[in-house]
Amino acid sequence: MPEVPSVFTSHWCSLEKPWSLASLLASNPLLATAPSVPLPPPFLPPRPPPHLCLPPLKLHTSAFSTVRPNPHQFANSNQLREEIGVQVLGWLVRQARTSPFLTPLLHNDLLLLLTRAWPQLLLLHAAYWPLDLLLLLQNETKPDMYKSEEAGQVSAALRMCRQYSLDSTELMLLSAVILLRSQPGLSTEGMLLISALQERAQATLGSHTASVCPSDPLRPSNLLLLVASLHCLPQQVVTNILIPSLASPQAASFVIATFLSTS
């Protein structure tokens, strides 16, 4: 059982007893075994009409990317990067809980999808986070020669995400597209929902981009290529550079489950 990294302490509610993954899963009714009674039919978001203009969501946008971190407040840049990474991770987990394209999924299925795809989501949202991770990576005073190549890959991915100047709605839709992939371990209901939700998320993305960027008909395809590029980056590379404490899958699953249950 991995220990809870100290960097996550400030993001969790104080408890009388230390948390463990076993106690968390046992105490959370959402993670318990599914009941034997038949579940009601899941809610599916309706198909969007052509050229639907979704109202902007109150998420972070590219306008905030000019905010600069203060490295002097932390012992080293690695600690600062990990702190920013944890903030972004907590944010994207909370957003996943409220996304209309993800709420039809069972809690365990959403946890599984987040555990498998959180590095790609982290890169997407970190590119538009108020604290500039890209600047922090570029200003590394004592770069580790063994991690310089990995840091370069992460920096390139952040630049690639940022070059599209995504609005908040596109961030939400691309997050759904990244998550909605068939994974081993999903429930039968989850397997049936994934393809339908993925299709509707992509259709909504196409309608939204057609309304806000009518002069760029290739934007939806380019954004889907961006998603494919993020999936090509090894998860270990993102973890080593941004949140080394989550190097083990068990630690990542534990932290994401904690954010899901406390957000």
* CATH classification at residue 178: 1.10.565.10
Chain-wide mean pLDDT for the chain?
76
Q: Examine residue 41 and state whether it is found in any structural domain, yes or no.
A: no
Q: Examine residue 166 and state whether it is found in any structural domain, yes or no.
A: yes
pLDDT-above-90 percentage for the chain? 43
Q: How confident is the model at residue 204 (pLDDT cuts 50, 70, 90)?
A: very high
Q: Examine residue 220 and state whether it is found in any structural domain, yes or no.
A: yes
Q: Examine residue 24 and state whether it is found in any structural domain, yes or no.
A: no
Q: Examine residue 195 and state whether it is found in any structural domain, yes or no.
A: yes
What average pLDDT score do residues 9-28 get? 45
Task: Identify the residue with better confidence: 6 or 197.
Answer: 197
pTM above 0.85, yes or no: no
Contacts of 202 (CB under 8 A, 6+ apart): 177, 220, 224
- Residue 246: domain span: 73-262
pLDDT at residue 49 is higher than 90: no
Could you tell me which of 55, 95, 248 has the C-alpha nearest to residue 178?
Answer: 95
Q: How far is CA 258 from CA 98, 176, 202, 261, in A?
A: 16, 20, 29, 5
What average pLDDT score do residues 198-226 get? 94
- What confidence score (pLDDT) does residue 263 get? 55
Question: In degrees, to the nearest 5, what angle opens at C-alpha 173 toward C-alphas 171 and 178?
Answer: 90
pLDDT at residue 212 is higher than 80: yes
Q: Examine residue 63 and state whether it is found in any structural domain, yes or no.
A: no
Q: How confident is the model at residue 217 (pLDDT cuts 50, 70, 90)?
A: very high
Q: How confident is the model at residue 83 (pLDDT cuts 50, 70, 90)?
A: confident
Q: Examine residue 128 and state whether it is found in any structural domain, yes or no.
A: yes
pLDDT at residue 196 is higher than 80: yes
- What confidence score (pLDDT) does residue 76 get? 64
Q: Is the dihedral of CA 15, 59, 179, 68 positive or negative?
A: negative
Q: Examine residue 39 and state whether it is found in any structural domain, yes or no.
A: no
Enumerate helices (H) and strands (E) in the chain, giving the number of each: 10, 0
- What confidence score (pLDDT) does residue 158 get? 93
pLDDT tens-digit map of 110-143: 999 999 999 999 999 999 888 778 777 776 645 5
56-65, 163-172, 253-262: least confident range: 56-65
The number of domains in the chain is 1
